[in-house]
Amino acid sequence: TYMEPGNDTQVLEFILLGLSEVEELQSLLLGLFLSMYLVTFIGNLLIILATITSSHLHTPMYFFLANFSFVDICFTSTTIPKMLLNIHTHNKTITYHGCLTQMYFFILFVELDGFLLSIMAYDRFVAICHPLHYTVIMNPRLCVLLLLLSWILSVLDSLLRGLLVLRLSFCTNLEISHFFCEINQVIQLACSDTLLNIIEMYFATVVMGIIPLIGIVFSYSQIVSSILRITSARGKYKAFSTCGSHLSVVLLFYGTALGVYLSSATTQNSRASAIASVMYTIVIPMLNPFIYSLRNKDIKGALKILVGIVTSSFL
């Protein structure tokens, strides 16, 4: 039951305890999360297709929104299908390599979400504070460069974290009080020294989490300052409406992430932390398409055209 890193002679499996061990709740959880996953997948896919098919949405704002929707699909697909499979088969195990893979992609996509939210805040800052220079500043080359840089940083950090976990040794207690391989809990199961892992996590939190958040705060401080200088109420409403949806997503994303962090820091109940993390792993990605489409005439118009194309093709 003990495995040294790099030992392939023994298959090591972790046990994902999930959200609840009550047998009567398993069917309810299966139906609930399957429905939420399908809504998340279809909703974000529609945003992507609407952006691609509508030429008037070929702007930096919708370019980043489409990428954000793609990342949200990947983000939820990293954890939810495995959880659904475990509930359906009544099998709570996940292989060692499967756990590492899930950790890698989870870190990758959650960090990409943070970077994209920061870039989208900068896009709104340029659009509202420097409208005459918007097309010059947010040119296609810069947009692709920002997206590529986000991918490179996220890939490198998630790879580094995965390699640091790969060097750890694990003992007999392999139960994870979560519905996916959450890196903090996996590290806590290690028998070997985890100092490097902890140092890297704190460093990554600053670089990948706090720095993008500072960028968002700076962008919105400038946006608010610019909006307050607008004299007409109609002008203020129009300026705020262009960033209201994004601000809502930012508050939800960082608010729930902070809530999960505080709940895990103040309580030893890992199951409570797992339930709280449901918010940012499935609920927020599910809500994002609704937040961005309900008050956005461009998206709603593009979705109507897309639905018309799809329905006419089947008639």
Q: What is the pLDDT of residues 262-300, one digit of tens each?
A: 666 555 556 667 777 888 788 889 988 888 877 677 787
pLDDT at site 247: 84
pLDDT at site 307: 76
Distance CA 96, CA 177 (A): 16
pLDDT at site 133: 92
pLDDT at site 265: 56
The full DSSP string for the chain is --B-TT--SS--EEEE--S---GGGHHHHHHHHHHHHHHHHHHHHHHHHHHHH-GGG-SHHHHHHHHHHHHHHHHHHHHHHHHHHHHHHT--EEEHHHHHHHHHHHHHHHHHHHHHHHHHHHHHHHHHHSGGGHHHHT-HHHHHHHHHHHHHHHHHHHHHHHHHHHT--B-S--EESSSS--HHHHHHTBSS--HHHHHHHHHHIIIIIIHHHHHHHHHHHHHHHHHHT--SHHHHHHHHHTTHHHHHHHHHHHHHHHHHHHHHHH-S-HHHHHHHHHIIIIIHHHHHHHHHHHT-HHHHHHHHHHHHHHHHHH-
pLDDT at site 117: 93
pLDDT at site 313: 67
- Where the chain has pLDDT below 70, the residues are 1-11, 260-272, 295, 313-315
For the whole model, what pTM was predicted? 0.89
pLDDT at site 7: 43
Please state which architecture CATH assigns to domain 13-307.
Up-down Bundle (1.20)
Nearest residue to 126 (alpha-carbon basis) of 231, 239, 47? 239
